[in-house]
């Protein structure tokens, strides 16, 4: 297990990672981060664990990750975002994580809406944001990040869907180096969000996505909608040309059906 000292060594950030809490085993780093964020923890505080007994994925799923092979951590943010900008935060995190992976490996990382990162069409990292709103203002956001780093075998139900940096790159990745790169990238992109506006993230995310003009289906809470992706709305929603007309979606589970449909 990593110590906070080893994780911080060589870290070039100003605020992110100033406080790092490490756990061998925890239920979920997001749960811990939320508890800390609800009382006193500073922005940039990190909670990292080798093993989660109840790692959480999006849409109520479980996040599975072997201990000693991956990165599972959460970071506390206190952004001054208005409610319309909240859906841009996952896109910012996705871009930052993609950049960090690319700087550490020679892999090309793609963004899949809303917060998956793919290498060669398989998932290498997932992001789970959980926030708290008080008096109509965003009190904090916990950004949970799981990266499949050196894991080479996945559960049966993830076969063909999940992969790791090691599997795709053919060599082991130093988790410490990747962790530092992730924090640097998250902080750098966060500063840009704060200084130049939240919409600066849209072109960066779009440049990393191959979803535009593709036929997809999105399932959310039991209902499925199909259509062709035409872009992102200024608030980070997915714009879909569907048989029922143009729709902007803000949540859901996307399956890319793989057919290119040129713009009319
Ligand atoms: C997803 O792709 O569904 C999101 C996965 C997010 C997993 C990370 S691992 C660290 C943090 N703690 C959690 O319980 N979940 C996130």
Q: What is the pLDDT along the chain (264 residues), one digit of tens a residue?
A: 789 999 999 999 999 999 999 999 999 999 999 999 998 899 999 999 999 999 999 988 999 999 999 999 999 999 998 877 889 999 999 999 999 999 999 999 999 998 899 999 999 999 999 999 888 888 999 999 999 999 999 999 998 899 999 999 999 999 999 999 999 999 999 999 999 988 899 999 999 998 999 999 999 888 899 999 999 999 999 999 999 999 999 989 999 887 666 665
Q: Specify whether 69 is located in the same domain as 185.
A: yes
Rounded Cα–Cα distance for residues 218 and 213 (Å): 15
Domains of the chain: total:
2
Q: How far apart are CA 222 and CA 174, in angstroms?
A: 40
> Is residue 148 within 6 Å of ligand 1 at its C-beta?
no
Do 155 and 256 share a domain, yes or no? no
Take atom 3 of ligand 1 and give the residue whose Cα is closest. 57
CA 207 to CA 197: how far, in whole Å? 18
Please tell me whether residues 169 and 240 are part of one structural domain: no
Domain range enclosing 255: 214-260
93 and 135 together in one domain: yes
Please tell me whether residues 100 and 192 are part of one structural domain. yes
What's 22's domain CATH number?
Answer: 3.30.930.10
Helix (H, G, I), strand (E, B) or coil at 104: helix
Do 108 and 222 touch, CB atoms closer than 8 A?
no
Q: Are residues 121 and 195 located together in one domain of the fold?
A: yes
Cβ–Cβ under 8 Å, residues 168 and 119: yes
Give the end of a domain, one of 161, 190, 206. Answer: 206
251 and 185 within one domain: no
Evaluate whether 227 touches 216 at the Cβ level (below 8 Å): yes
CA of 260 to the centre of ligand 1 (A): 31
């Amino acid at each position: 297990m990593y110590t906070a000292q080893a994780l911080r060594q060589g870290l070039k950030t100003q605020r992110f990672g100033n406080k790092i809490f490490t756990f061998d085993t925890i239920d979920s780093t997001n749960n811990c981060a939320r508890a800390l964020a609800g009382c006193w923890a500073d922005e940039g505080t990190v909670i990292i664990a080798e093993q989660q007994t109840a790692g959480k994925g999006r849409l109520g799923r479980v996040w599975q990750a072997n201990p000693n092979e991956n990165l599972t951590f959460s970071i506390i943010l206190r952004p001054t975002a208005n409610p319309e900008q909240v859906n841009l935060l996952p896109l910012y995190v996705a871009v930052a994580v993609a950049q960090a992976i690319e700087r550490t490996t020679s892999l090309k990382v793609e963004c899949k809406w809303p917060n998956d990162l793919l290498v060669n069409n398989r998932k290498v990292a997932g992001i789970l944001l959980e926030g708290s709103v008080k008096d109509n203002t965003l009190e904090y956001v916990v950004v949970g990040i799981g990266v499949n780093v050196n894991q080479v075998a996945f559960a049966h139900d993830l076969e063909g869907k999940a992969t790791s940096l090691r599997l795709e790159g053919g060599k082991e990745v130093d988790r410490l180096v990747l962790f530092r790169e992730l924090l640097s990238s998250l902080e750098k992109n966060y500063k840009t969000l704060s200084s130049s506006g939240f919409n600066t993230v849209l072109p960066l995310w779009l440049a990393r996505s191959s979803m535009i003009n593709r036929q997809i289906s999105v399932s959310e809470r039991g209902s499925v909608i199909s259509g062709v992706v035409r872009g992102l709305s200024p608030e980070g929603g997915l714009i879909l040309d569907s048989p029922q007309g143009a729709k902007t979606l803000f949540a859901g589970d996307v399956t890319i059906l793989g057919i290119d449909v040129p713009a009319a």
